[in-house]
Copies of this chain bind each other. A is one copy, B any other.
Amino acid sequence: LDYQHVQVPFEITLWIMLASLAKIAFHLYNKLPSVVPESCLLIFVGLIMGGIIYGLNDKSPPVMDTDIFFLYLLPPIVLDAGYFMPSRPFFENIGTILLYAVVGTVWNVFGIGFSLYAICQVRAFGLRDVSLLHNLLFGSLIAAVDPVAVLAVFEEIHVNEKLHILVFGESLLNDAVTVVLYKLFRSFCEMPAIKTVDVFAGVGKFFVVGTGGVLVGLTFGVTAAFTTRFTKDIRVIEPLFVFLYSYLSYLTAEMFHLSGIVAIIACAMGMKRYVEANISLKSHTTVKYFMKMWSSVSDTLIFIFLGVSTIGENHEWNWPYIFFTVIFCLIWRALGVLVLTFFVNRFHVNTVTSKDQFIIAYGGLRGAICFSLVFLLPDFRRKKLFIAATTVVILFTVFVQGMTIRPLVDLLHVKRKRESAPTVGEQIHIRFLDHLLAGIEDISGHWGQYYWKDKLEYFNSKYLQKVLLREYDQPKSSIVLLYEKLERKHAIELAEAGQLGHPPSHPSLLNSERIVTTEKKSEDTLRPDGLENMQEILARNLYRTRRTGPAYSRHTLPGETEPAVQAQELLILRHRSL
């Protein structure tokens, strides 16, 4: 027996296996996942595992390694989130999201930090040695809403798209703020004296870390899109580039102390459109499937490890500090959401309702990021207290808030996600309105979102697509190809049924391309100019329909409807119309 030799890969494989089998086990009993969120079940499994390890070895089980978390477990989840991010609602609400993510997080950090410092002044609690800086440092790590936890819960409760993107977008983008504040306070803790210039440098860093992340991400995204232009002869390695470039963007950003999460999201969102058009359909299925699979496993492992790491002797228990941490986390978040939404609603027609506000405040779940950050703290006397408080906040938010949010959503009748995808008619109207509004904005000189969107679209089709797409003048999206395929099939069927005006001979049947051309020509005589435009609009909107259909979910792929079913439905529809 030579266990040492294979230990590392063997244990990694076994952990992943455990995670996957746990997932299967939960889904065997259909009732369980509908009551308790999967994240809670997984933490529970982790607690049991941790208990077993603790019981057998009589020492604390290993805590989740921070490097493993940040370098290997987090990127797949964020990549998946960025790649499947519904871009329209995201960019429509980008202002609100940024406000929540930046101002809201700063508000929470200082709110929690200062009020905990106030608690520390109460002599009876025995916490007078915890300085203001330490409290602020703790605030900076406990304030950040965790994307992994938010995703795990929100994908199961199906709230409306806007609400979903507000909470989820905030949880992703606050990373930049958290990173900056956390590092700032940590370095302040080690400095003998803090100068005013340091504080200003800290504020400046916000912008560098955020925009730097975006720039790094976009650079890698564009490179990835460009690379996939040349993979036509070796389709099998196409999916690889999507993963390699996004991972590189994350690592590069981390290397320069920028926000890796922001970078990988920018990379994924930037490349998606072009990569999708360049790579083959099978490659794309693989990319999507593997991303889902990977993030699903990462997510499972994170929650299990969270559970395992909770067990042990890392904790210092202080009732008042822990109790008030939970309370302040809830209060400051609620206040922040209320105040910020008040300003947001003054500038928007489509306001955030008070029910939505409640869910935003209540959905501020904490997770593995806080946990990793607290273990990264430099050793000082009260580190174990911070660990205990963080653990309690995470367990409280994931278990109590995570389990009650679904009943609350039901109780409050929060607007749900629409189940059906928007119709082509709706899509055409939306698109039409977009153009209209862009025109109005252009004329009135108000450079709003529609104006910029239009400009970006123009820049994209004029320059970017020419460089990044392999066959620019060819049909771009898979749905256009499907459309052509259906047209071709239709022609063959007509030929078979003898319903074509002039039944084609054998050779032309084999070359079905030509049938389509003749068909097109015969229609061309009817509407010589408008047809091509109409097709273009239809194609684009069919494309949109498929893309914007179902909102983000960890466990399903968008567009799961089988092509066969689609084709059948089309045929039935056509039969009716005859």
Which of B10, B28, B506, B574 is the one whose CB lies under 8 Å from A230? B28
B10 touches A244 (CB 8 A): no
Q: Are B497 and A241 in contact (CB under 8 A)?
A: no
Q: Are A236 and B555 in contact (CB under 8 A)?
A: yes
C-alpha gap A520/B231 in the complex (Å): 46
Asked if A256 is at the interface of the complex by the 8 Å CB criterion, the answer is: yes
**A572 — which chain B residues lie within 8 A by C-beta?**
492, 509-510
Is A35 among interface residues, defined by CB-CB distance under 8 A?
no
A251 within 8 A of B: yes
In the complex, A464 has a CB within 8 A of chain B? no
| Smallest CB gap from A232: residue in B | B27
CA gap between A252 and B1 in the complex, in Å: 10
Chain A binding site: helix, strand, loop or mixed by DSSP? helix
Q: Does A129 contact B (CB under 8 A)?
A: no
Residues of B within 8 A of A355 (CB): none
Contact between A6 and B251, CB atoms less than 8 A apart:
yes
Verify A9–B251 contact, CB threshold 8 A.
yes
Decide if B568 touches A492 in the complex (CB within 8 Å).
Answer: yes
Quick check: is A349 within 8 A (CB to CB) of the other chain?
A: no
Docked Cα-Cα span, A240 to B76, in Å, equals 15
Kindly report which residue of chain B lies nearest to residue A10, judged by CB atoms: B251
Min Cβ gap A507→B in Å is: 11
Q: What 1/0 mask marks residues of chain A from 253 to 270 whose CB sits below 8 Å from any chain B CB?
A: 011110000000000000
**A499 contacts partner chain B, Cβ-Cβ < 8 Å:** yes
- Chain B residues within an 8 Å CB radius of A67: 5
Bound CA span A497–B499, Å: 8
Which among A3, A244, A297, A488 has the greatest number of chain B C-beta atoms within 10 A? A244
- Give per-residue flags for A293-306: 1 if the beta carbon is below 8 A from chain B beta carbons, else 0: 10011000000000
0 or 1 for each of A548-567: is its CB under 8 Å from B? (1 = yes)? 00000001110000001001
- A454-502 residues with Cβ-Cβ distance < 8 A to B are 485, 488-489, 492-493, 495-499
Cβ-defined contact, B16 with A240, below 8 A: yes
In chain A, residues 182-237, which have Cβ atoms closer than 8 Å to a Cβ of chain B? 227, 230-231, 233-234, 236-237
In the complex, how many angstroms separate the beta carbon of A546 from the nearest chain B beta carbon? 16
Residues of B near A14 (CB, < 8 A) are 248
A125 beta carbon closer than 8 Å to chain B: no
Copies per complex? 2
- A13 beta carbon closer than 8 Å to chain B: yes
Within 508-567 of A, Cβ neighbours of B (below 8 Å) are at 509-510, 512, 555-557, 564, 567
Number of chain A residues whose Cβ lies closer than 8 Å to a Cβ of chain B: 77
Q: Which of A256, A488, A496, A568 has the most CB of B within 10 A?
A: A496
Q: In the complex, what residues of B have CB within 8 A of residue A27's CB?
A: 233-234
Identify which of residues 281-319 in chain A touch chain B, using a CB-to-CB cut-off of 8 Å.
Answer: 282-283, 285-286, 289-290, 292-293, 296-297
List chain B residues, Cβ under 8 A from A492.
568, 571-572, 575
Distance from A28 Cβ to chain B, minimum over Cβ atoms (Å): 6
The CA-CA distance from A574 to B496 in the complex, in Å, is 9
Flag if B568 contacts A10 (CB, 8 Å).
no
Whether A555 lies near B234 (C-beta < 8 A) is: yes
Mask for A1-43, Cβ within 8 A of B = 1, else 0? 1110110111001101100110110011010000000000000
Selected from B28, B236, B498, B506, the residue in CB contact (under 8 A) with A293 is B236
A568 and B512 in contact, given A13-B248, A237-B23, A248-B13 (Cβ under 8 angstroms)? yes
A399 near B: Cβ within 8 Å? no
Give the complex CA separation of A24 and B226 in angstroms.
Answer: 12
- For residue A239, CB closer than 8 A to chain B, the reply is yes
A74 to chain B, nearest CB (A): 12
A230 touches B24 (CB 8 A): yes
Please, which residue of chain B has its CB at the minimum distance from the CB of A245?
Answer: B17
Contact residues in B for A244 (Cβ distance below 8 Å): 13, 16-17, 20
Report how far A512 CA is from B564 CA in the complex, Å. Answer: 12
**Chain A stretch 361-416: residues in CB contact (< 8 A) with chain B:** none
How far apart are the CA atoms of A495 and B557 in the complex, in Å? 33
Chain B residues near A230 (CB-CB < 8 A):
24, 28
In the complex, the answer to whether B578 meets A6 with C-beta atoms within 8 Å is no
Residues of chain B lying within 8 A (CB to CB) of residue A247: 9, 13
A255 x B1 contact (CB < 8 A): yes
CB of A72 within 8 Å of the partner chain = yes
The CA-CA distance from A292 to B240 in the complex, in Å, is 11
Cβ contacts under 8 Å, A237 to chain B: 20, 23-24, 293, 296-297
Q: How long is the Cα–Cα vector from A509 to B578 in the complex, in angstroms?
A: 14
A348 within 8 Å of B (CB atoms): no
What are some 8 contacts across the A-B interface (CB < 8 A)?
A6-B251, A8-B71, A23-B234, A24-B230, A24-B234, A240-B297, A285-B289, A492-B568
Closest 6 CB pairs of A and B: A497-B497, A27-B233, A286-B289, A236-B292, A6-B251, A10-B251
Given contacts A9-B247, A13-B251, 16 further A-B contacts (CB under 8 A): A13-B244, A13-B247, A21-B227, A24-B227, A234-B555, A236-B296, A236-B556, A240-B297, A283-B289, A290-B290, A488-B568, A492-B571, A493-B497, A496-B578, A497-B498, A497-B499
